[in-house]
Amino acid sequence: MKRVVVGLSGGVDSSVAAYLLKEAGYDVIGLFMKNWHDDSVTISNECPWLEDSNDAMLVAEKLGIPFQVVDLSVEYKDRIVDYMFKEYKAGRTPNPDVLCNREIKFDLFLKIALDLGADYVATGHYCRKAVVEKGEDPVYRLIAGKDANKDQSYFLCQLSQEQLSKALFPIGDLIKPEVRKIATEQNLVTAEKKDSQGLCFIGKVRLPEFLQQQLKPKQGQIVQISENYVGYSNRKTEFDSKHASLKYLSEKFKYQIEDGKVVGTHQGAFYFTIGQRKGLAVGGTIEPLFVISTDIDTNIIYTGEGNKHPGLFRKALFVPNDYEHWVRPDLALKSGESLKVMSRIRYRQPLQEAILHQFEEGLYVEFSQEQSAITEGQFVAWYLGEELVGSGVIS
């Protein structure tokens, strides 16, 4: 009998994943990961991890499977929280959920599971796995979940073949209402529980307060850039090579304070991210202001009015070599090659048509439509059909 360790998070998805595995005849063990100690920055008064671990324990009891809590908060702080602070401080916007899957669930957690004699780890992610035989070795494919509204393949975009080989996604073929229905029929305590929001395993966190633990507020100026800014109309259109054109299209606009007008103040450029609307507290415009650029060195935030402002849009982005990752290494491009794909630059964004261009220094992703709020530090993922084949950190 194959043994599976399920990451029971105290939510309905992982509860049903555990139930389905038990029904399928696996020897199932439930494990709850405690990854966070500091309750001072969570939004609600109740302690989310205590409530969640309790729900996870009740589900395990109901299913008649062994259960334990593992405390990974030290490693979580080292690998996720400290990384987040470092990225925000540098003016980038990290994605803790993608990292959490790569570094915690499918690394540390996987090692614990293997020590318990497990053949696999399972999670409640809405995605699927398939295997193709290529030559000697099986090749593992990461496929989007059947529920298009809930597909979470993007969050797993950094997994390796080794990690995928050990992963099971029992609810990938179900849609959310079906998952809730199973939980209700089995009388699981999590059946009606709301989906968790906020950082992976931290619960609902106020991001500015969370960041203020290490990034001290410092006042700076908010500058509004007009949509008639000269840099938008003076765009180059002629290039010597495709490479030169892609390099130009993926570069962000560089503004100076004199390019616009000062319209307010903020408490620290590193608290803001491209495309952000909330938290600017500047009135007097017909449409809301959006962040179009942040300058950490001068502590200035540049904004534009309305979500169609030209400063928000770019046609291409760049992923340096070190940050390029192929879930399917057998499909990786060689320098000079290109590939038509579907791509997304954030979770839940509808897939966009794009072409990948591989060069010596890294990969350019060229979109057929201009993209809004391409953000440094976030992940771009690319798909062939429903299969996620690679991803990278946006430079």
- List, by residue number, the catalytic residues: 100, 200
Measured in degrees and rounded to the nearest 5, phi and psi for residue 222 equal: -100, 120
**Residue spans of beta strands (DSSP E) within 256-309:** 261-266, 289-295, 300-305
Sorted by sequence, the CB contacts under 8 Å of residue 121 that are 6+ apart come out as: 4, 5, 6, 7, 105, 106, 109, 110, 113, 166, 167, 168
Mode of pairing for the β-strands spanning 67-71 and 27-34: parallel
Q: 325: Cβ–Cβ under 8 A, 6 or more apart, which residues?
A: 157, 158, 390, 391, 392
Handedness of CA 135, 138, 143, 146 (dihedral sign): positive
Compute and round to an integer the Cα radius of gyration of the chain.
Answer: 23
CA atoms within 13 A on the CB side of 149: 4
Q: Give SS3 for 324.
A: strand
145 contact partners, CB below 8 Å, separation of at least 6: 125, 126, 127, 128, 151, 152, 153, 169, 171, 172
Amino acid at 49: W
